Structure 1
């Protein structure tokens, strides 16, 4: 399994060196040229890798950007998918879900969504070291796939769409603020009931 994965990775590097690129993976197609990036785990491998890919794609990642990509939560689950032999070998299914939002000015949420990747690897109780290496390699592949999916999502966005989302978010915020203010005025104008007074005997 490890040899096969190394062969695939080697071919991918060779093809990319020749200028070959899979359709839909051209990260240079991003029209968003400025974006901040944050995550709950600011030094986690996913956010670090995503920052590198964004910068490598010509995106200026900085705190003063008009939009912020926030990785709100990343969860990984693992379950046994199948057994073989006398319980010495087992297939594990790994599942990673990455929730994210894109925020505009004043931390206004413009959109939120999630990405999900799944992979299966074999854990051989007779080869613990090799199985652990394969598990780590699978997790690295899943992280790269998450980052690639995020870049594909970002390719679908452009500044005009984000401006429209920002305008809608601003309108919702104004409507909510006006509703709160109207409720406050109505409460202030409503006569307060005086407490009951009982005659003193």
Structure 2
């Protein structure tokens, strides 16, 4: 028994040394230490949970931060997977898609992506209250999963990646500004024709 416990502890130490963590355990260390968070639904449950998760991970959430996380759109859909007897619906599949942007200095876009989660629940036509409760629980689980996946995405961003994204965004903005300036100069230098006046008859 003692040998078995020592073996389990040894494996746990080795796995943690490799950077492995069980889901829902350990701390989520982020390279971003300060972030501005906003969403279309500013007081919705997803952005509220996201703010709590960031703050519990040691990230300061404040306006004017060097980086901004914008939850641009959150859409839920559902479809029927199977039918029970007498034509009653059996299984529903819920799908939630969360689109987000990460912006850096000078409000320049660094990253645009989306996260998708799915959950199946049973709908009992004879127990509508219980079915609705199960659907609500499924939505809560999905929202928790969305926030955890978002944190993992942020956790994977290294300072070097963020710097590279900022440089790319700056270069793109400078190229667009130069192209616009060149187009405006070309338009200003183009001679404008005076309208031809036709003789009155």
TM-score (norm 2): 0.84
Residue matched to 1:118: 118
Displacement of 1:25 after TM fit?
5.9
Q: In the TM superposition, what whole-angstrom CA distance separates every residue of 1:158-199 from its partner, at most 9, and x where no partner exists?
A: 233112211111111111111111111111111111222446
Q: Hey, what's the Cα distance between the residues in 1 that align with 2:119 and 2:47?
A: 20
Q: In the TM superposition, what whole-angstrom CA distance separates every residue of 1:132-175 from its partner, at most 9, and x where no partner exists?
A: 11111111000000011101101110233112211111111111
CA contact (8 A) 2:49 2:147 kept: yes
Q: How does 1:26-175 map onto structure 2 within 5 Å?
A: 26-175=26-175
Structure 2: tracts of 5 or more residues without a match: 1-20
State which drifts further: 22-31 or 171-180: 22-31
TM-score (norm 1): 0.84
Indicate the SS of the match to 1:86: helix
Indicate the SS of the match to 1:196: coil
CA contact (8 A) 1:24 1:152 kept: no
Count of matched residue positions in the alignment of Structure 1 and Structure 2: 181
2:165 aligned with 1:185: no
CA contact (8 A) 1:25 1:148 kept: no
CA contact (8 A) 2:93 2:121 kept: yes
Q: In the TM superposition, what whole-angstrom CA distance separates every residue of 1:80-129 from its partner, at most 9, and x where no partner exists?
A: 11001112342100000000000112321111000000011001011112
Q: In the TM superposition, what whole-angstrom CA distance separates every residue of 1:16-65 from its partner, at most 9, and x where no partner exists?
A: xxxxx515864422121111110000100000001101100111111121
Indicate the SS of the match to 1:41: coil
CA contact (8 A) 1:94 1:120 kept: yes
CA contact (8 A) 2:80 2:93 kept: yes
